[in-house]
Amino acid sequence: MTDAQPDPQSLISIQGLEKRYGRKRILKGLTLHVGAGEVVALLGANGAGKTTLMRMVAGLDQPTRGEVWLGQVPLSKASHEIRRYVGMVGHLPLLYDNLSGWENLAFFASMYDLVDVDNRIESVLRSVNLWTRRHDAVRTYSRGMVQRLAIGRAILHDPPVLLLDEPDTGLDQVSARNLAELVTTLRRSRRAVLLTTHHLERAVDWADRLAFLADGEVVEELSTANLGYAAARDRYEHWIG
């Protein structure tokens, strides 16, 4: 699809990505890289193409032009097995309300042919602070607990790439803090994390870099090291309003 090459230091390499729906061009030559142990927050207005981009990185949608690499593997030439490389949490948690947290993860473990399943499920449930509620039906969980279990589902098969599409929507302060701690754990485990959020302060706190998406392109990237909220807000309002 393109003669460009992936960044050898990145687990996610996006080069010249375009997406059209009919005559409408959503993404216009977007380029972005995310390395191992790095969290990048993608910021943009509603309809800017954030979810479209996430779906293409996950291999759930095809670009009109350009390429996405996971490591050194181009998605345009990859088999469905490449999806084992990615975990994604979208707007829907993709969990079964009538099953317990443990039963949900056991179901998804069977889809990935995991070995030592019980130990892996225990490890994941502990990492998302749901071990004590493992036998309770998901329908009894709070919004924050459901979101944490959805992340547990996404990391169950230990993917190096994690995509979080507005994972903090509707969370109370306690659940948001728990999610922040989990994002930190994901960084320490050397995963590449690409997330979207409408909460600028959380983006600054959680991410290593902010990537502003406007008019179908990444128009600016900022390191969050020593970046204050006021400076981040200024750039956000400049590009997004």
**pLDDT digit string (tens) for 1-13?**
446 778 778 999 9
Distances (CA, A) of 161 to 13, 61, 154, 155, 180: 11, 17, 10, 9, 17
Mean pLDDT on 70-88: 87
* Domain covering 10-93+160-239: architecture: 3-Layer(aba) Sandwich (3.40)
Category of 39 on φ-ψ map: left (φ > 0), alpha (ψ -120 to 50) or beta: beta
Across the strands, what pairs with 223?
A: 209
Distances (CA, A) of 61 to 13, 64, 84, 176: 16, 10, 16, 29
pLDDT score recorded for residue 169: 85
pLDDT score recorded for residue 3: 61
pLDDT score recorded for residue 176: 87
pTM over 0.85: yes
Domain ranges of the chain: 10-93+160-239
Whole-angstrom Cα distance, residue 203 to residue 179?
12
In tens, the pLDDT along 55-78 reads 999 999 999 999 999 999 999 888
pLDDT score recorded for residue 1: 44
Mean pLDDT on 199-217: 95
In tens, the pLDDT along 106-137 reads 999 998 889 899 999 999 999 899 999 999 99
pLDDT score recorded for residue 172: 83
pLDDT score recorded for residue 7: 79
